Structure 1
Amino acid sequence: MDDLLCHETWLSRPLNAHDFHDDDSSNVELPLFRYSGCDYKYENEEFEWAFCVCIEKEVSLMPEPNYVHYLYSNNLIPARVRVIQWFLKCRSRLNLSFGTVFYAANYLDRFISICQCNDWKYWMVELLSITCLSTAIKFNETSAFSLHEVQMESLDHSYESNTILRMELILLQAVGWRLNTVTPYSIVETVVCYVPSSLRPNLHENIMSRVTKLLLQATLDLRMMGFRQSVVGISALWCSLEELYPAVSDAFIAYIMKLLSQSQKEDLIKCHKIMDIISTTLEDSYGHHYCSLSKSPTTVL
């Protein structure tokens, strides 16, 4: 597989035994909380424990700290934008969940940040993007799709199934087989399940629609790379609640702030300011960037 990609080692750091253990503690079933006026009354202990587990878990499931610099120095920003756009096209065509898109984006960012390849070609990014999406589909979707179906949208090259499957193994090894990651979208889904029952009839139609648009736009904004996944997700939910349910927003953010450390509170406030700007400038499209990376020879096909 090395000759398909580059001469450098894709796995640039040794993997420890704990890297291969997928912690499923974030799947703990949480109790509902109740809403009375502007005060949230949780059945506290279980919810707070599970929320904190997610926050602790996400640290080991994020790209490396120097990731944004690495993207800049290797001219990968246009390629990343194009890949995210491709994920969205596939989501629409295959009727995938938005959660699958965020899983795929997480796998993409983690892999690129871990693997120190300094001679990226676009065909390599394309192969990786197919691999990330196919892996996310297997992990998160109930319907199966062939690798041929996954590749049917806006790609410059076509790859044999065996090549993609071998690349899936490389991806799994790189991320330590930890696919049950924390994403901004998964954080929002977790919290939204426990909002006041009186809001639920309109919640998924109104709040989730707005949150999803914000998070998709935020995925393309490199300023968001400096924040934890939970901070980005809560910021998007905060902005959406401010817009649609301001009374609920005040109580919600007051409660969440109590569960965060001081540094996390400061990050949430900073992220919220950026998210608010994104919210006011949100457009239906998600950018029109094109990748300028060199293509592979036809022998790669």
Structure 2
Amino acid sequence: MNNNNLCGEHQVVEQQEQNSSFSHDLLVDDDEFSFRSSYIDDEEVAMLFERENMHLPREDYLMRLQNGDLDPTHRRDSIDWIAKVIDYYDFGPSTAYLSANYLDRFVSVNQLPADPWVMQLLAVTCLSLAAKVDETRRPPSLYLQVCEPKFTFQATTIKRMELLVLSTLNWRMASVTPFSFIEYFLIKINGHKPSRTLISTSVQLILSSIRGTEFLNLKPSEIAAAIAIYVSSGGTLAVDYASAISCFIQHEKLLKCLEMIQEVPIGYGFLQNESSSLSSVTQSPNGVLDAACSFNY
């Protein structure tokens, strides 16, 4: 790929206030959460168990974050920014989770360049793809670059990065997430359709778990099962509730996840560091897609 041909097409545009005719007010839902839950039966959940392994980061991803092979601050900063945009456009919880899932899966199978703009490009790309999968109303990808991103990119750059992410993830974008299981487990534990309070609290905890790297070595079903037990028992480690779903999840995994959930602050959204600042310095790296295409698979 020719760097010179890319310089003009893929320069980072100057960071400035985006003036768009698209209003995020159009996205406001009357419900507190726009998570669209629907009951699934035993046969459907069995299929989800089979599929969830296809939508996980590589097994050594958490270890690489912990031992310094990958910089965890890059992931944190990207997810912090995604959280702000999710809130700005009032996107649904599933879009938030999918964005982080795509980002983690992509990073886990690539050796990314150290340039800070790479993660910003990946963040806006994963958010754009997630919105296309899950949102019925969304702005063009160019206008997702709000809330003081470190860098902003032209639409053509984002589009080409989308194709790279799609190819890397084998076009498996309908990821199985904890939202896929949560209502099923709540019904199994409580014996009836869960209340709005149980659903809302479960959604809050799922979103809050996104930022924690310690959850990266757990499957969506394990996170959902532990959260279902936790909210059903009133925020305790009442493992007695586990008997209702013990045939689905290993007991040791449930205990581990329950302990981790107890440390997660409950709150809508997954931005835990409100004071973290994002640099407004704009640079213009050349050959964005050249570098992207040179990632090691």
TM-score (norm 2): 0.73
1:223 corresponds in structure 2 to 214
Q: 2: CA distance between counterparts of 1:140 and 1:239?
A: 27
Contact residue 236 and residue 272 of structure 1 kept, 8 A: yes
Distance 2:63 2:235 in 1: 36
Residues 34-88 of structure 1: per-residue CA shift (max 9 Å, x gap):
xxxxxxxxxxxxx333222212211121000110222242452112112222222
Query: Residue 196 of structure 1: CA displacement?
Result: 6.2
Q: Contact (CA 8 Å) 1:83, 1:129: kept in 2 or not?
A: yes
**Structure 1's 2 and 75: CA in aligned 2 closer, same or farther, altered over 3 A?**
farther
User: 1:239 aligned to 230, 242, 246, which one?
Assistant: 230
Counterparts of 2:176 and 2:88 in 1: how far apart (Å)? Answer: 25
Mapping 1:109-258, distance limit 5 Å: 109-117=104-112, 119-192=113-186, 200=194, 203-204=195-196, 206-243=197-234, 250=240, 253-258=242-247
The Cα RMSD (Å) is: 3.2
Distance in 2 of aligned mates of 1:74 and 1:266: 28
1:229-277 deviations in Å (ceiling 9; x for gaps): 2111211121111117999x955x32211234xxx33212211122123
Q: 1:162-208, CA deviations, whole angstroms, 9 ceiling, x for partnerless residues? A: 100000000000100001111123322554577868654xx23x112
The structure-2 alpha-carbon separation of the partners of 1:246 and 1:128, relative to structure 1 and needing over 3 Å to count, comes to closer
Q: Distance in 1 between matches of 2:144 and 2:278?
A: 23
Distance 1:2 1:254 in 2: 60
Give the 3 Å change call, closer, same or farther, for CA 114–2 of structure 1 in structure 2: farther
Structure that is richer in helix per residue: 1
Find the aligned partners of 1:214 and 1:145 in 2 and give their Cα distance: 27
User: 1:265 corresponds to which residue?
Assistant: 251
Q: Percent identity?
A: 24
Match of 1:42 in 2: none
Structure 2 alignment gaps of length 5 or more: 7-37, 289-297
**Counterpart position of 2:78:** 83
What is the CA-CA distance between 1:120 and the residue it aligns to? Answer: 2.5
2:101 maps to which residue? 106
Residue 12 of structure 1 is matched in structure 2 by: none
Work out which of the residue numbers 87, 90, 95 in structure 1 matches 2:90. 95
Runs of 5+ consecutive residues of structure 1 not aligned to the other structure:
5-28, 32-46
Deviation at 1:130, TM superposition (A): 0.4
Counterparts in 2 of 1:18-29, with a 5 A limit?
Answer: none
Offset of residue 289 of structure 1:
7.8
The answer (yes or no) to whether the contact 2:76–2:211 under 8 Å persists in 1 is yes
Find the aligned partners of 2:200 and 2:109 in 1 and give their Cα distance. 32
- Matched residues, number: 250
User: 1-side partners of 2:73 and 2:246: how far apart?
Assistant: 35
Cα distance in 1, alignment partners of residues 198 and 260 from structure 2: 19
Indicate the SS of the match to 1:258: coil
Q: Structure 1 114/161 Cα, relative in aligned 2: closer, same or farther at 3 Å?
A: same
The one-letter code of the counterpart of 1:116 is: Q
1:66 to 60, 70, 79: 60
Q: Alpha carbons of 1:246 and 1:224: their partners in 2 closer, same or farther (altered >3 Å)?
A: closer
- How far 1:159 moved relative to its partner? 0.5
Deviation (angstroms), 1:143: 0.9
The superposition leaves residues 112-149 of structure 1 with CA deviations (integer Å, 9 ceiling, x where unpaired) of 001123x3222100000000000000011111311222
Equivalent residues of 1:82, 1:289 under 8 A apart: no
CA contact (8 A) 2:78 2:120 kept: yes
For 1:189 and 1:84, the matched residues in 2 are separated by 25
Counterpart-to-counterpart distance in 2, 1:102 and 1:156? 22
Structure 1 residue runs of 4 or more that deviate by more than 6 Å after TM superposition: 193-197, 244-247
Check whether the contact 1:74–1:120 (CA below 8 A) recurs between aligned residues: no
